[in-house]
Structure formats: structure tokens, C-alpha cells
Amino acid sequence: MSLHSLELWLIFLLPWVLDAVSGRGVLASAFGAILWGMALVIALLRSGTRDERFKRAQSWALSFLIGAWLTYWLLSWAGTEPKNWTVTEETLRALTLLHAGILAAGVGMVAVHWGAALAWVLKESSLRKSSWARRTLRLERLTLPPLESIGRVCEGALRYAVMSWIFGIGLALVTASLRWGVEWVRDPKILISIILAMTLGASYKMTQWLEGRGRTLYTAYLTLSGVFLIGFSLLMSFDVSRIHEPLRWFVR
């Protein structure tokens, strides 16, 4: 097993092991799972980058995210009891933890995708300036990675986010069916989540519609993933659920 794949497995599994053993529920909180999702998608995409400076920057970002997650996990011990699960049945509890963690991790991946789309648009607008403008305005000083590298991260992060949300929504539906039967169909929170997943799917589908139309494609990415992130934030803050437990940003 190479060092890279070992690192990937550690990032993928260790948070779950730590969370399961300690029972703190860090991955059941949106913040903890978003950090994990961002770290995972950066670790997955880093090996594909051929620009050394960008690769180094990704390594730094990855170290920062891992450090932040571990710090958050340690802080979750301070002065609180382990998460008080309302679900007592083991399988249901595991499914709840998994779907919450995977969906929120997908949001972290969309955040990376949104950041990369923004960087692409900025870089492209700098490149679109004429040589004379770049000479006089010193726009070339905008030290963003190569357009191609940013594009690769942008598309890769979206691909993993879509996979994560498809899997997460599937798990969520199984969990909801086991817990509430068909009642979940009338729950607005679950339905909004499905709409958000469709937004993400539409965004992914655009890669085929707008392939080669660089600027249009990335502006659309930026808009749609922005809508997705805002939608997710609203979902976290509105208490419009009939049966779903309240969503939480943080462990406490």
C-alpha cells in the first residue's frame, strides 16, 4: 500500500473510529463533518495536481483541516457529556450518524468546489485582460494556480460531492423509512434536502451541456453551488420539520 493510499484511508476512516469510540458525535454535527469532507476531497484530488506550488498549497490546506478537525474533536470533550442520542436502536443510530456525516461532508466538498469555481472565474478574468492591461495593471501578480489545475479541482470536488450526496440521501431515506415509515414524505426538511441534491445533480450535468464553454460553465458552477450552500444554511436554521430531529451546526 502506497503512502498516499494509506493517508487516504486514515483520513477516511480515522474520524469515524475516533467518533464511534468516544461517542462525541463530531461527525453528526455539520461543522465537524464539513471539515472532514473538505479534508477528504482535497486528499483525493491532490495526487492529480501536476503544478508543484499548488500541490504544496493543497498539502498545507489538508494539514490545516486535519489539525482543525482534531482540535474540534478534543474541544468536544471539554465540559460536556457524550452526545445524548434520541435513537436507542443500534442500527438506526449508526444509519443516522452515517447519513448526517456523509451529507454534511458533501457540503464541505461543495464548499471546495465553490471556492475553486470562484478562483477559476477570477483567474480567467485576469487572463482575459489584454497584454497591455496586464502590463500596466500588474494583474499577473494575482498568484492563483494554473487555470487547468483550478478547473480540475473544481470538477473533481463536484464529482465527489454528487457521489457523497447520492449516497447520503439514499441512506437518509432508508433511515427515515425505518424510523417513521412513509411519514417522511410529508416532512419539509427531508424534501428540501432532496431538492438540494437535485440542484447538485443539475450542476454536475452541466459539465456535459456546457463542455468547452469555460467561462459560462464556471459562472454557472459558481451560481448553482452558491445556491446549494445558501439552501443548506437555510435548512440548518429553519425549524420547519414535522418529524426530523433538529439539525445542529456544532456538537454542543
Partner 1 sequence: MRLDGLSCLSLSARDGHAVEAREGAHLAPERIEALLKEWRRALAESNEADAGLFYLGTCHRVELYSFGIPTESLRLAWSRATGADLGRATLVEGSAVLDRLVRVTASLESEVLGETQITGQMRDATEFARKIGVLHGPLDSISQFALRVAKRIRSETKLGEGTISVAHVAVDGLLEVFESLEDKSALVLGAGSMAEQALVRLRKLGLSRITWSNRSPDRLAAHPLAAECEIAPFANRHAEVWRHDIVVAATSAESAILRLEALRAERATKGQGRRGPRVILDLGLPRNVDEKIHGFSQFYVRNVDEFSTRIRENEARRQSWAEASDRIVEEEVREFARSFEVRARGPLVGELYRCVEALRLHELTEKNLEKNSEIDYLSRTINSKMMHLLVRELDALDDVPARQVLEVLLRAWRQAAEWQPRKSRTPENPEAPPPSLAPVPREAKPKRP
Q: How far, in Å, are 1, 22, 74, 141, 185 from residue 25 at the CA level?
A: 30, 8, 12, 44, 27
Closer residue to partner 1 (CB): 153 or 222: 153
Give residues with Cβ within 8 angstroms of 49, minimum separation 6: 55, 58, 149, 152, 153
Binding site for partner 1 (CB under 8 A): 49-51, 54, 127-128, 130-132, 134-135, 138, 140, 145-149, 152, 211-215
Report, in Å, the least distance between residue 208 CB and partner 1: 11
Nearer to partner 1, 214 or 226 (CB): 214
Instruction: Give the other-Cβ count within 10 Å of 2's Cβ.
Output: 8
Beta carbon nearer to partner 1, 134 or 159: 134
> Least distance (Å) from partner 1 to the CB of residue 54?
7
Nearer to partner 1, 129 or 248 (CB): 129
Question: Nearest distance from residue 112's CB to partner 1, in Å?
Answer: 17
Given the complex with partner 1, which of 147 and 163 has the nearer CB atom?
147
Give dist(CA 85, CA 88) in Å, integer: 7
Q: How far is the CB of 147 from partner 1 (least distance, A)?
A: 5
Least Cβ distance, residue 64 to partner 1 (angstroms): 22
Distance from C-alpha of 49 to C-alpha of 58, rounded to nearest angstrom: 9
Q: Which residues contact 199 (CB under 8 A, 6 or more apart)?
A: 224, 227, 228, 231
